[in-house]
Amino acid sequence: MDTERFNAAFEDHRPQLRAFLLRMTASTEDAEDLVQDTYLKAHAGLSGYRGESSLKTWIFAIGSNLARDLLRHRKRWPEHATDICREAALANREFLGEMMQIRMTSPQGQFEIREHIAFCFTCISKSLPLEQQLVLLLKEVCEFRVKEIAGIIGNTEAMVKYYLHTARQKMIGIFDNRCSLISKNGICHQCSELNGIFNPKQNLQEELVKIEMARDAENKDKETLFDLRMRIIQAIDPYESEAAELQLHHLQHNKQVIENYLEKN
Amino acid sequence: MAKTGTNPIDGKAATTKKTFSRTTSASIGINAHPGIIWALLTNASDFPRWNSTVTSIEGRIAPGETIRLKSILDEKRVFKLRVTDMTPEKAMTWQDGMAPFFKGVRQYQLTAGQGGQTRFVMTERIGGLMFPMAAKHIPDFNPVFEQFANDLKKEAETIQKAKN
């Protein structure tokens, strides 16, 4: 494959790769660096690409390995990271002011509950062991097949299935315990709280009815609710949506707060 | 009801008693790739999630490592077990105690079963010179072995069925 064709193909995959790396790292800076490094490494190794897997799979394998190298020695986030960040945000007037400024002035400053569901998933999936987080994102968000993921992470299909299953079970358990959108006993109401702040004239119930996961929560089993959550996340490009600037700013805040928290704990 | 004998039927356990030893074995056919079963058997921290007979395992399940296991057999006791042999996706041995006085050896085996199944066999032999004195205080392993094997089957088959 010549450079010109490779560049065109890489550009096609860049948005999904960037979103994947953002969800892995919870950092816009890390994600941008990793995309750049993936390009350089792939380009340098282009002569070694034999076409045994699709180019997309090959690019994601490089990106995944770079992300793994970066994150291997970093601590996992706690399951209640969003609680810690909420407390920090409420005590930080500067941050709240910036949020409001973005909300009022940016074309990508809308607050949408769907976007917050995707944002929340990024934060909570960072509490998984690295391999589980990687496999979960590759399968449930990027929609690779098990066989392709085995090639990407350099492990067996059996282990991919195992990681995927354990990751799903952990995430389902966390959401069942925390998310008030799907569970009456859910302790986290940040979606509705933030919607009240950013969209004060909106009727929350009307908004929730538009989200199948919330609307049908009582009638669906936990696995199906998780699949519906994944469908929401699949449909969102965290860089291109109408809520992108607001959510990325919020994510950057959370990353900083959790890094400080992990240093002290 | 657990059977006593040397040839357990699928999903059931059997115990053979001798003067200086006791051997319990359970066997079950599992419709899952041995790699999935192996992953379940070797990820210590994940055990309590799927295995209702284990309340906790600390340590790494790797050759030469010692793990600290708490079981529903006796929740107050911590079993310190050494992983002595491991052949990935085939066999693993855990041991505790001190020969020749008292020693426990637990073996897990995976072999190709009929119709693409994986046959899981779990065997524990406890014995030694002190065994006759301790025997009456050692609980019946059969129900726990059956539970273990059936939990493993259920979890491994659930994972196997995951979409490709």
Q: What ipTM was assigned to the predicted interfaces of this complex?
A: 0.77
pLDDT higher at B78 or B134: B78
Q: Where does the pLDDT of residue B130 fall: very low under 50, low under 70, confident under 90, or very high at 90 and above? A: confident
Average pLDDT estimate for A222-231: 96
Contacts of B31 in chain A (CB under 8 A): none
> What pLDDT score was predicted for residue B7?
55
Q: How far apart are CA A233 and CA A119, in angstroms?
A: 9
Q: How far apart are CA B74 and CA B80, in angstroms?
A: 13
> What pLDDT score was predicted for residue B1?
41
What are the start-end ranges of the H helices in A139-243? 146-153, 157-178, 190-198, 204-209, 212-215, 222-234
Whether A158 has its CB under 8 Å from any CB of chain B: the answer is: yes
Write the residue in A159, A164, A169 that is nearest to B35 by C-beta.
A159
Residues belonging to chain A: 265
Candidate from A138-152, B24-38, B125-139 with smallest mean pLDDT: B125-139
> What pLDDT score was predicted for residue B77?
85
- Of residues A140, A123, A133, the one with CA closest to residue A166: A133
> What pLDDT score was predicted for residue B4?
46
Contacts of B40 in chain A (CB under 8 A): 162
pLDDT digits (tens, 9 = 90+) for A180-218: 999 988 999 998 889 898 898 888 888 888 899 999 899
Cα of A210 vs its chain's centroid, Å: 21
Write the residue in A145, A161, A169 that is nearest to B36 by C-beta.
A161
List the single residue in B with minimal CA-CA distance to A167.
Answer: B46
> What pLDDT score was predicted for residue A163?
97
pLDDT digits (tens, 9 = 90+) for B71-117: 988 888 898 999 999 999 999 999 987 767 778 899 999 999 888 89
Q: What percent of chain A is modeled with pLDDT above 70?
A: 100
> What pLDDT score was predicted for residue B13?
92
- Residue B34 reports pLDDT greater than 60: yes
Candidate from A259-263, B30-34, B138-142, B146-150 with smallest mean pLDDT: B138-142
> What pLDDT score was predicted for residue B18?
83
Q: B46 and A165 in contact by Cβ < 8 A?
A: no
Average pLDDT estimate for A221-230: 95
- Residue A106 reports pLDDT greater than 60: yes
Q: A158 and B35 in contact by Cβ < 8 A?
A: yes
How many C-beta neighbours within 10 Å does residue B61 have?
Answer: 19
> What pLDDT score was predicted for residue A172?
96
Average pLDDT estimate for A242-255: 94
Q: Where does the pLDDT of residue B131 fall: very low under 50, low under 70, confident under 90, or very high at 90 and above? A: confident
Q: B40 and A145 in contact by Cβ < 8 A?
A: no
> What pLDDT score was predicted for residue B5?
47
Q: B33 and A157 in contact by Cβ < 8 A?
A: yes
Mean per-residue pLDDT of chain A: 94
Q: β-pairing, B118-127 with B21-30?
A: antiparallel
Write the residue in A145, A165, A166 that is nearest to B164 by C-beta.
A145
